Structure 1
Amino acid sequence: MSIPNRKVVISAAGGPEVVSVQDSELPAPKKGEVRVKLLYSVFGGSDINMRNGTYPMQEKAPLTTGYVSVGVVDLNGKDSHKLQPGDLVCCLSVYGGQQYYTNLPEPFIVPVPKGIRLDQAAAMVLDWTTAYGMAFRTAKLQKGHKVFVHGLSGSVGNALLQLCKIQGAEVYGTASESQFDALRAQGAHPFVYTNKDWIQAMKDMGGAHAVFDPLGFESFDESWSILSRDNGHLIGYGSNGASLNGKPRSQAAAYADIAKLMARKLVPFCPFNASFFYVDRTQSTFVPELLKCFDLQVKGEVDVKIKKTISLEEVPQMHKDWTKTKGVGTVVVKLPYADEYLGGR
């Protein structure tokens, strides 16, 4: 049977006015699905891009955003037996995390370990697995490497900062000047992106072994220019520049940016490397890297920063305030059942 539900709805591609929170009905889980009562989700650049209709290969509106789902199992669909009602779980849901209940495909549901803070677990499902894969698997960072991170105070950027420091790398990057003190306290060397002093500063130091760039477009050119000739590696991800500057670009333009990035390493005798990184729940690396991130948090080896916690009802306003939101880390969406669940633990 279906159940009453409440969810974020993006009715069409457009500005913040197309986002609302609506009452609805959630159908019973289909074969191979599990109904989950949600506790937390996240809000990020993908929400803005989906609202604009520019996220790569996205569903057409109307749609419900929420790239991450953290909650408890409520009901198993037919042939779903791996989980029991009440189990604490998470999923890289891509859609549907910003609602009271959601139906998730059982194969992509991951148990959440005991002892982890649930808002931080939500931040790790996408943001930290992205950072982990880039730092450890793609960049293969080593002690003494110099790295440059665009958006040090952002959700993925701050995760990169901490993971790179764990590896013994020296971390530089860009951020809002209001966050400099907090970032320096974490061991970073921040620059203001817009004044471009960071370009000459990094060249004077011999360049960076790895540059992590979520901005795309012309930013890739500047990031390429500061690579070290000692196996320098530019890693693009996210393509979130448009969500930050309020100037949406088409899906075709985003693909062109990626093609431009990947073409760089094809130049004969080029001393640099280039990659575009993304996380997908079908990747064999996803669950193992997520569990490693969870383990780092449970052991207290990382500090998962939460920039802001908002309610489901505040999601439409966050679409208006996204570029003005101050702080470090991930914006999490707290669903109403979270307080009841946490109060009973």
Structure 2
Amino acid sequence: MSTTIRKALIPQYGDASVIKIVDAQIEPPKSKEVQVKALYSGMGGADIQMRLGSYPNQNRAPLTPGYTVVGRVHINGPGCSKFQKGDMVACLTVHDAHAELINLPEKYLVAVPKGLDLQQAVAMTLDWNTAYGMVYRCGKITKGRRVFIHGLSGAVGYALLTLCKLEGAEVYGTASQSKHAELREAGATPFVYTDKNWITAMNVIGGAHIVMDPLGFESWDESWSILAPKSEGGGHLIGYGGNYNLLNGGETRNQIPAIAKLLARNAVPFCPNKTSFYYISRDQSTFEPELKALFNMVLEGKITAPIKKVWTLETYPQAHREWNSNTGIGSVVVKIADDVEA
């Protein structure tokens, strides 16, 4: 028997006016699926892109966005026994998390430890897990390395800053002027992206050993120009995202040529620098263990994700309307429901 739920809906691609909150039916979970009662979900640039129809491999409209969810197991589908009703779980959903109930493959659910703040759990599932992989696997950040991060005040950017500082790195990067005082307090040396003074400043001090750049396109060329020279051991440019124009009100651009150009730099003979394009997937073998490591770091008091804004499901359309005018630092979350079982 189906159940009536409230959920966000993108009926067709377009500006923020297309977002609706509707009543809809959800079927019982299928074999190997678990139905989860959503309590919190994340909101990020991917949800904006899906509304515009430009996120890679996204579901076609009509669709419900929502890349992450934290909630309680509601119903186990046939063949599911890993979790019991009421267990708290997190999942990288990609779609459908901005809804009261969601059916998810059991294999992608990760247990949330007791005592972990649920907003923190949401931020760790995508924003901080993305950063964790770049810092510890892709970038292999160590003490004394000069790391340059574009978008220091964003959800992933601030996570990168925090984790790099934990490893003893020197952190530089770009952010709007209004965020600079808070970022300096966190241990970074911030610059304004648009004036390009950061290019000269970084080259004067010997360049960056690691650059993490989510902007893409021309920004990757600029970031390449500040990598440390051979005498400094060379540098590593890590690209991810690549949607600066889109998320700032510009036109959608095809990322494939830019990514190909980024990676092609690895073929330059005798060049001391290298490039990578980083992405996160719930199918990666590293996803669950790295998320669990982050959960433990929160519980141990080593890290805390700043929460920029908390929306509700009913105010969710406003979140889309105000996306480009958000102030503050950190992650944006959507409260779907109260935890009546807590």
Which band: TM-score by shorter chain?
over 0.9
| 1:215 aligned residue | 215
* Percent identity of paired positions between Structure 1 and Structure 2: 53
Work out the CA distance in 2 between the residues paired with 1:275 and 1:11.
36
For 1:242, give the aligned amino acid: N
Helix, strand or coil at the partner of 1:69: strand
| 1:281 aligned residue | 282
| 2:244 aligned residue | 241
For 1:236, give the aligned amino acid: G
Work out the CA distance in 1 between the residues paired with 2:319 and 2:255.
24
| 1:167 aligned residue | 167
Work out the CA distance in 1 between the residues paired with 2:176 and 2:211.
18
Work out the CA distance in 1 between the residues paired with 2:97 and 2:175.
28
Indicate if the aligned counterparts of 2:246 and 2:252 stay in contact, CA closer than 8 A. no
Helix, strand or coil at the partner of 1:90: strand
| 2:13 aligned residue | 13
| 2:122 aligned residue | 122
Work out the CA distance in 2 between the residues paired with 1:255 and 1:311.
35
Deviations 1:114-162 (A, max 9, x none): 1211101100000111000001100111100000011111000000000
Helix, strand or coil at the partner of 2:237: strand
Work out the CA distance in 1 between the residues paired with 2:247 and 2:184.
23
Work out the CA distance in 1 between the residues paired with 2:175 and 2:113.
33
Indicate if the aligned counterparts of 1:211 and 1:233 stay in contact, CA closer than 8 A. yes
Question: So what's the TM-score if we normalise by structure 2?
Answer: 0.97
Work out the CA distance in 2 between the residues paired with 1:260 and 1:61.
31
Work out the CA distance in 2 between the residues paired with 1:288 and 1:215.
28
Question: So what's the TM-score if we normalise by structure 1?
Answer: 0.96
| 2:256 aligned residue | 255
Instruction: Report the alpha carbon displacement of residue 336 of structure 1 after superposing the two structures with TM.
Output: 2.1
Work out the CA distance in 2 between the residues paired with 1:88 and 1:42.
16
| 2:23 aligned residue | 23
Helix, strand or coil at the partner of 1:337: coil
Helix, strand or coil at the partner of 2:83: coil
Deviations 1:9-67 (A, max 9, x none): 11122111221111111111111100000010011100111111111111111111110
Helix, strand or coil at the partner of 2:50: helix
Deviations 1:311-336 (A, max 9, x none): 11222111121111011100000112
Work out the CA distance in 2 between the residues paired with 1:248 and 1:276.
22
For these two proteins, the number of residue pairs brought into alignment is 339
Instruction: Report the alpha carbon displacement of residue 240 of structure 1 after superposing the two structures with TM.
Output: 2.8
Structure 2: state its 5+ residue gaps.
none
| 2:38 aligned residue | 38
Matched, 1:134 2:134: yes
Deviations 1:173-210 (A, max 9, x none): 01111111111111011111111111100010110011
| 2:153 aligned residue | 153
Instruction: Report the alpha carbon displacement of residue 255 of structure 1 after superposing the two structures with TM.
Output: 1.4
Larger CA deviation: 14-23 vs 198-207: 14-23
For 1:41, give the aligned amino acid: S
Matched, 1:303 2:315: no
